[in-house]
Amino acid sequence: MQSYLALILGAIIGSSIRYFFYLLNLSAFGIPLSTVIVNIIGSSLAGFFYGKFQNSVYVFMYIGLFGSLTTLSAFNLEIFQLLGNKDFLKATIYFLLNIIITLTLFYVFHFISLKIAS
């Protein structure tokens, strides 16, 4: 039961932050950036805290908070819209921003957390 409550609390916080960025509707040169930003934030934090929590705290952080903050469904919807509008260059840039930057920042912040711990 404790893990389930941790999941709910993390999901409420993560989805609330995600919705806040959605309302900001940030974009640059026609490329939607709100999803990119939450994916960058979530991936950075997930990398920083990777392997540091177990049990209910892990459920709160990774499944609840980060799982609700970052979202592949919004990514897929926005890239689908760009492709549907035949904005192939924007779709490619958007894809690269989400995939390469977030994966890179996950690794970088995980490395930083290991350096801090040692």
pLDDT band at residue 69 using 50, 70 and 90 as cut-offs: very high
Confidence (pLDDT) at 13: 97
Confidence (pLDDT) at 6: 96
pTM above 0.95, yes or no: no
Q: Residues in the chain, how many? A: 118
- Per residue in 20-38, pLDDT (tens digit) is 999 999 999 999 899 899 9
Confidence (pLDDT) at 117: 92
Mean pLDDT of the chain: 91
CA distance 47 to 80: 27
Q: Which tokens in the block code for residue 75? A: 């990514």
